[in-house]
């Protein structure tokens, strides 16, 4: 830190993924790249890298985000197991085995979120007469349904760990 930065008094706080709005933004903007890969039949390894990169956040493998207080990936995954029971039941046995441990369900949640986002993007493209994946993604990123999709998934993933932004604290910061 140089002296001018130090003297500015600026305080940098890590984004809190306990706030569903923050997590929804992370999911949505990560999905943009994942959906593009799906729509263009791109590299499956790149897609997997995005999914597992986002899921690794929930394992505490980043210093750039603050996890919710008391975060337990296995407990969060167990709650997701209940919500995703129908999807899991429909999986082939070998896929179910890959998600036998509760904390692995966080990756399944991210993957499912992205797959559903791809369906929303495709429907948006059909409705709006768009075929170019870049055009579709540019348009769908401004669609309220698309944004609501990620907010829903953020709330599902966080479950009881969700802590909406403290508006009083945010207002005090603006004074």
Q: The tokens of 162 are what?
A: 């969700």
pLDDT for the residue 21: 95
Considering its fold, how many domains does the chain have in total?
Answer: 1
In a domain, 88, yes or no: yes
In a domain, 134, yes or no: yes
Average pLDDT over residues 138-161: 95
In a domain, 119, yes or no: yes
In a domain, 101, yes or no: yes
Question: What is the pLDDT confidence band of residue 15, given thresholds at 50, 70 and 90?
Answer: confident
In a domain, 81, yes or no: yes
Which residue has 């930065």 as its token pair? 5
Burial letters for 38-75: b for 16+ Cβ neighbours within 10 Å, e otherwise? Answer: bbeeeeeeebeebbeebbebbeeeeeebbbbeebebee
Rounded Cα distance between 114 and 136, Å, is 15
In a domain, 96, yes or no: yes
Give the per-residue SS3 of 64-110. CCECCCCCCHHHHHHHHHHHCHHHHHHCCHHHHHHCCCHHHHHHHHH
3, pLDDT greater than 70: no
- Whole domain around residue 155: which residue ranges? 17-61+70-161
In a domain, 83, yes or no: yes
Residues 17-74: tens digit of each pLDDT:
999 999 999 999 999 999 999 999 999 999 999 999 999 999 988 888 899 999 999 9
6, pLDDT greater than 70: no
Average pLDDT over residues 77-87: 96
In a domain, 10, yes or no: no
């Amino acid at each position: 830190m140089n002296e001018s930065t130090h003297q500015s008094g600026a305080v940098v706080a890590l984004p809190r993924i306990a706030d569903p709005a923050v997590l929804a933004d992370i999911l949505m903007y990560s999905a943009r790249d994942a959906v593009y890969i799906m729509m263009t039949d791109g590299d499956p390894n790149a897609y997997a890298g995005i999914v597992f990169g986002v899921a690794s956040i929930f394992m505490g493998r980043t210093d750039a985000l603050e996890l919710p207080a008391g975060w337990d990936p296995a407990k969060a995954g167990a709650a997701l197991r209940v919500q995703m029971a129908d999807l899991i039941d429909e999986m082939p046995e070998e896929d179910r085995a890959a998600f036998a441990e509760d904390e692995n369900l966080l990756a399944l949640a991210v993957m499912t979120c992205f797959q559903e986002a791809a369906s929303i993007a495709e429907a948006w493209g059909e409705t709006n007469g768009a075929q170019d994946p870049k055009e579709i993604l540019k348009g769908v990123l401004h669609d309220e349904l698309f944004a609501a999709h990620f907010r829903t998934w953020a709330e599902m993933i966080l479950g009881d760990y969700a802590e909406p932004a403290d508006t009083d604290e945010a207002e005090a910061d603006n004074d």
